[in-house]
Amino acid sequence: ELKVEQNPLFLSMQEGKNYTIYCNYSTTSDRLYWYRQDPGKSLESLFVLLSNGAVKQEGRLMASLDTKARLSTLHITAAVHDLSATYFCAVDIGGGADGLTFGKGTHLIIQP
């Protein structure tokens, strides 16, 4: 059974600080997804990481994937309040499009 673990599950940080969210998964996979969810809303796709060593950046967010360690990170640089949300990582182990297994999510609060 595929397990996806995120940590921390809750993070409160100040604006301007840097932090990293970690996502470990238990089964070999070459596809790792990061999503953002605002309260009462559906998911917003942030990144899709498709290969070992993949690194993607968008604004203050940067995601990386190490398939050998089965680890992905989402790094937040100089956090701003607008980044407050819940962040999920998810893994797809299928050969084609497959249902995703999600981590429990990281509830991020960024305080002024």
Partner 1 sequence: GAVVSQHPSWVICKSGTSVKIECRSLDFQATTMFWYRQFPKQSLMLMATSNEGSKATYEQGVEKDKFLINHASLTLSTLTVTSAHPEDSSFYICSASPGNSYEQYFGPGTRLTVT
Where does this chain bind partner 1 (CB under 8 A)? 31, 33, 35, 40-43, 45, 48, 50, 88, 90, 92, 96-105
Torsion of CA 96, 97, 99, 102, to 10 degrees: 100
Cβ atoms within 10 Å of 30's Cβ, excluding its own:
15
CB 61, CB 76: distance < 8 Å: yes
Backbone angles phi, psi at 83, to 5 degrees: -85, -5
Smallest distance, partner 1 to C-beta of residue 53, A: 17
Nearer to partner 1, 15 or 44 (CB): 44
Nearer to partner 1, 16 or 94 (CB): 94
Burial class (CB in 10 A: 0-12, 13-18, 19+), 7: middle
Nearer to partner 1, 96 or 112 (CB): 96
Smallest distance, partner 1 to C-beta of residue 7, A: 13
Smallest distance, partner 1 to C-beta of residue 90, A: 8
Smallest distance, partner 1 to C-beta of residue 31, A: 6
Nearer to partner 1, 42 or 112 (CB): 42
Rounded distance between C-alpha atoms, residue 14 and residue 108, angstroms: 11
